[in-house]
Amino acid sequence: AQSVTQLGSHVSVSEGALVLLRCNYSSSVPPYLFWYVQYPNQGLQLLLKYTTGATLVKGINGFEAEFKKSETSFHLTKPSAHMSDAAEYFCAVRGKGRGSTLGRLYFGRGTQLTVWP
């Protein structure tokens, strides 16, 4: 079974400050890893993903995340927060199995990011 834990349901930062959103996963094999962003009353938009290869992945809007197998983590960072970054962020893992596990996304419970002026 796979699971995702996002530490901190709410994170507040000042504009221009570092953004760090934490994500840890539990999986028998390293899964595919994703970060999605949800703006108010909108659907989910893919920020970035890790499948194979380079463990530091860059996404849209200046976000990046690093896959650390030894720590089973995939934390999301952005060097300088902007007001427009305020949203809900979801970490997700995707199974690599076949059959019913194929394609299934397991989501964390989300982290609400607030950016203060």
Partner 1 sequence: DTAVSQTPKYLVTQMGNDKSIKCEQNLGHDTMYWYKQDSKKFLKIMFSYNNKELIINETVPNRFSPKSPDKAHLNLHINSLELGDSAVYFCASSQEGVDTQYFGPGTRLTVL
Contact 61, 47 (CB under 8 A): yes
Query: Judged by CB, which is closer to partner 1: 64, or 88?
Result: 88
Q: How far is CA 62 from CA 1, 4, 18, 69, in A?
A: 32, 23, 11, 23
Give the nearest distance from C-beta 16 to partner 1 in angstroms: 27
Instruction: Count the Cβ atoms, other than its own, within 10 Å of residue 99.
Output: 6
Q: Which residues of the chain form contacts with partner 1 (CB under 8 A)?
A: 32, 34, 36, 38, 41-46, 49, 51, 88, 90, 94, 99-100, 102-105, 107, 109-110
Distance of CA 109 to the CA centre of its chain: 11
Give the nearest distance from C-beta 78 to partner 1 in angstroms: 21
Give the nearest distance from C-beta 80 to partner 1 in angstroms: 26
